[in-house]
Amino acid sequence: MYDKLNRFEQIVFDILSVFLLLFYSYSAVLQPAATQYHRGIFVIITYVLIFIAYKSKTLIFRILDYILVFLSTFSIGYWILNFEVINYRTGAETDFDKAVAIIGVLIGIELARRVVGNVFVFLGIILLAYGVYGDYMPELISHAGDTFPELCTSIFYKSDGVFGIMANVLATYVILFVLFGAFLEKSGAQRFFIDFPLAAVGHRIGGPGKVAVIASGLFGSISGSAIANVVSTGTFTIPMMKKAGFKPHVAGGIEPAASISGMFMPPIMGAGGFIMAELTGVPYSQIMLVAVFPALMYVFSVFMMVHYEAKIHDVRGEKSEFSAMHILKTEWFYIMPLVVITVLMLYGYSPGYAAIIGTISCLVVSWIKKETRIGPKRFVEAARLGTLNSLTIGATVGVIGIIIGVLTFSGLVLTFADIVIQLAEGRLWLTIILIALASLVLGMGVPVTAAYLITAVVAVPALTHLGVNEIAAHMIVYWLSQDSNITPPVCIAAFAGATIAGANMWRTAFSSFKFAKFLYLGPFLFGYVPAFTLNGSAGDIVKVFIIIFFGTWLYSYLLSGIWVRQLKSKLK
């Protein structure tokens, strides 16, 4: 994408990328809470960069791109400069205020169309139509409705709209952690995340598959994207699995199943943890503590499924040139940035501050080896990579604002909870299944972090009404929001794995679905076992963890089908 830009556009892109890094680093240290300036500047730069990176092909439409750049900058700048004045005249906005709001809302839809696709356009239009014509809807979901200008004004200026939770979390935490991940990758750590598991388990039964599971868990914890995880570690692990004897569709299915683990694994959790902390008011350090054991159990589940799959087909890897201990002794420093971030957050420092110190530690670590040193050129490259990685989720800000703004405006947030409770007739297991279906449909065209936020707004009240504690309810929704990565019919991460493996798309998708089964068991554990989210006495938590550990092993053993083969061989 960057390579397709002309030299002027590349220079602008790089300058804005470095500015994002420096401005939000400065802000995280001196002013952790995001003001309208932080949110607005982030949205302006994101919008401008998207219009540059996702440019039109013809001259006429290219001119239109620059007009849209001006209009987006103007509309958001107007909100920033008139923030207090507009708040004072809430309910009595001028016609000019309304015109600016309409421009801002419509540009948000166009940005999402360019980056994410037409699904978001469809969602945005449907929600806007629902907001305007709510009085014509069936009684169950009807509301008073409003004029289009008034609705756009509510969406653009109020705190639960365009500049609401998503913009706040992106400007406060996410951009810094995405940039941290880019700097960690540039420091050479990605190689360690592959070399260490390769030396540790690469030569054992199913070694290459186990390498994929561990490497994807390690790299995914800082990449923040299952798809990015697949295309980065998968380019190495999938060919290695095929060479060892795994069938192409199996190799292509293991990698995306393993890559999802990065979305659950602290310290970054694919940005979802930060949104969770914002919605619940619980410190992010506590969210991390709650998330770590379930994430490890997910990795363990995929690991054991790979082990039994390899045992069935007698797949073994080759011994590495160096031992795991040798690699750990010579490259241990690559894990220090992750340790630094985790320790700082556990000691109560803000996530943004921890990300900045972690990024600085990446720069220090990079200078240990000559070939990985981050000088001025590599510094700009890392800032550019982080910014590019942030554009996909940044492009959803406008439409997320429309969706949440309309849901709040119409009262459908509470109505949806009532609908789910009525359909499930008060049964928690059926409520979880209904939420899984809703998140799967929503995730077919929406980034998983956005899918989590949208689903959480409407589904968490239904779960808490049934007695699930708030963090557990959010964990249920967050885990289920990842299912569109590997669950047919739309499973982008699985299709990416199939492309690398040169395998049939659908066979790969169902294979990935098979290896990621714990993704669907976890939400039930969150709902029915309070100790799974550290809610209970220390004794109860330890007992539950032990039981779940052995239960996960048994669960993986039974689902693998190896016991059927073993039973048949004994009967013969």
**How buried is 536 (Cβ within 10 angstroms: 0-12 exposed, 13-18 middle, 19+ buried)?**
middle
Task: Report the chain's C-alpha Rg in angstroms.
Answer: 24
DSSP string, 155-207: HHHSTTSTTSHHHHHIIIIIHHHHHHHHHHHHTTHHHHHHHHHHHHHTTSBTH
Q: Which pLDDT tens digits describe the chain residue by residue (572 residues)? A: 677 888 888 898 999 999 988 888 887 777 655 677 888 888 899 999 998 888 888 888 888 889 999 999 999 999 999 888 888 888 888 999 999 999 999 999 998 888 877 877 888 889 899 999 988 888 878 888 889 999 999 999 887 788 887 788 778 777 888 888 889 888 888 778 778 887 887 778 878 888 888 888 777 666 666 777 787 778 778 888 888 888 899 999 998 888 888 888 887 777 778 888 888 888 888 898 999 999 999 999 999 999 888 888 888 777 777 788 888 888 888 888 888 888 888 787 877 888 889 899 999 999 988 888 899 999 999 999 888 878 877 888 888 888 888 888 887 766 777 777 778 888 899 999 988 887 776 665 566 677 788 888 888 888 998 899 999 999 999 998 888 777 776 677 787 888 888 888 888 888 888 898 899 899 999 999 999 988 888 888 999 999 999 988 888 888 877 777 777 667 66
Q: In terms of Cα–Cα distance, which of 105, 98, 108, 117 is closest to 46?
A: 108
d(CA 393, CA 449): 8
Q: Within 10 Å of residue 157's Cβ, how many Cβ atoms? A: 24
User: Given this model, what pLDDT does residue 491 score?
Assistant: 72
Q: Report yes or no on whether pTM surpasses 0.85.
A: no
Residue boundaries of the structural domains of the chain: 2-161, 166-394, 412-571
User: Given this model, what pLDDT does residue 197 score?
Assistant: 82
Query: Residue 316 in 3-state DSSP?
Result: strand
Helix (H) and strand (E) counts in the chain: 30, 0
Ramachandran category for residue 117: left, alpha or beta (phi over 0 → left; psi -120 to 50 → alpha)? left
Q: In terms of Cα–Cα distance, which of 359, 351, 352 is closest to 379?
A: 359
CB 551 within 8 A of CB 557: no
Q: In terms of Cα–Cα distance, which of 198, 193, 215 is closest to 302?
A: 215
Which residues, in sequence order, are bridge partners of residue 205? 316
User: Given this model, what pLDDT does residue 522 score?
Assistant: 92
**Residue pointed to by tokens 């592959």:** 194
User: Given this model, what pLDDT does residue 443 score?
Assistant: 65
User: Given this model, what pLDDT does residue 224 score?
Assistant: 60
CB 420 within 8 A of CB 462: yes
Q: How far apart are the two ends of the chain, measured CA to CA in Å?
A: 58
Which residues, in sequence order, are bridge partners of residue 316? 205
Largest interatomic CA distance in the chain = 84
**How buried is 104 (Cβ within 10 angstroms: 0-12 exposed, 13-18 middle, 19+ buried)?**
buried
**Cis ω for the linkage preceding 267 (within 30 of 0):** yes
User: Given this model, what pLDDT does residue 526 score?
Assistant: 94
CB 97 within 8 A of CB 155: no
**Cis ω for the linkage preceding 351 (within 30 of 0):** no
User: Given this model, what pLDDT does residue 96 score?
Assistant: 93
Q: In terms of Cα–Cα distance, which of 305, 174, 179, 320 is closest to 240?
A: 320
**Residue pointed to by tokens 């360019």:** 114
